[in-house]
Amino acid sequence: MKTIRMGILGCGPRGMQMARITKLLPEFYTLTCMSDMDETALEEAGKAFPDIRLFRSSDELLDSGLADAVITEVPPDVHMEYVAKALDRNLHVLGEIPAVNSIEEGQFLWEKVNSSKALYMAGSNPNYREKNHLLYNLAQQNKIGKVAYIETEYIHDATGMKDAWRKEYEACRYYTHSLDPILKLIGSELRTVCCMGTYDRLKNGHRHNAMSALYSTKDNLVVRLLTAFAIPYSGPPHTTKI
Instruction: Render 17-69 in DSSP notation, one character per residue.
Output: HHHHHHHT-TTTEEEEEEE-S-HHHHHHHHHH-TTSEEES-HHHHHHSS--SE
Cis before 50? omega within 30: no
For 195-218, what is the mean pLDDT?
94
pLDDT at site 45 = 97
State mean pLDDT over 126-147.
88
Rg (CA), the chain: 20
Supply the pLDDT for residue 192: 76
Residue 3 DSSP symbol: P
Q: Give the model's confidence band at 17: pLDDT under 50 very low, under 70 low, under 90 confident, else very high.
A: very high
Residue 227's closest CA among 210, 204, 202? 210
pLDDT for 1 = 59
Alpha carbon 150 to chain centroid, angstroms:
23
Q: What pLDDT score does 124 carry?
A: 66
How many C-beta atoms surround the C-beta of residue 118 within 10 A? 17
Average pLDDT value over all residues in the chain: 91
The predicted structure's pLDDT at residue 101:
85
Task: State pLDDT tens for residues 91-100.
Answer: 999 998 888 8
Q: How confident is the model at residue 104 (pLDDT cuts 50, 70, 90)?
A: very high
Among 195, 242, 190, CA closest to 216:
190
